[in-house]
Amino acid sequence: MPEEELHSIRIHLDRVLAERGMTLTELAAQVGITVVNLSVLKNGRAKAIRFSTLSRICEVLHCQPGDLITHTPTDPA
């Protein structure tokens, strides 16, 4: 898979943050990562996420990983 090829993973951090009434800055401070790194994740530009980071995000937002991440299969055509 070429590096520039798009993937079929979607991040729903914006929606979950809005539901919780929390800003990206507040989440970054509580999770312990930079706003820039969290923004990369939120905008779907992240190539990976550590399970420890995902766990901490879920703890802070009181959600499950499936609330934040979904897989949308690509069209086989």
Would you write out the chain's pLDDT as a tens digit for each of its 77 residues? 455 557 789 999 999 999 999 999 999 999 999 999 999 999 989 999 999 999 999 999 999 999 999 998 877 65
Q: Which of 69, 58, 71 is nearest to 20 (CA)?
A: 58
Sign of the CA dihedral with 53 first, then 55, 56, and 60 last = positive
For the entire predicted model, the pTM comes to 0.85
What is the spatial distance between Cα 19 and Cα 13, in angstroms, rounded to a whole number?
Answer: 10
The C-alpha angle with vertex 40 and arms to 33 and 52, in degrees rounded to 5, equals 40
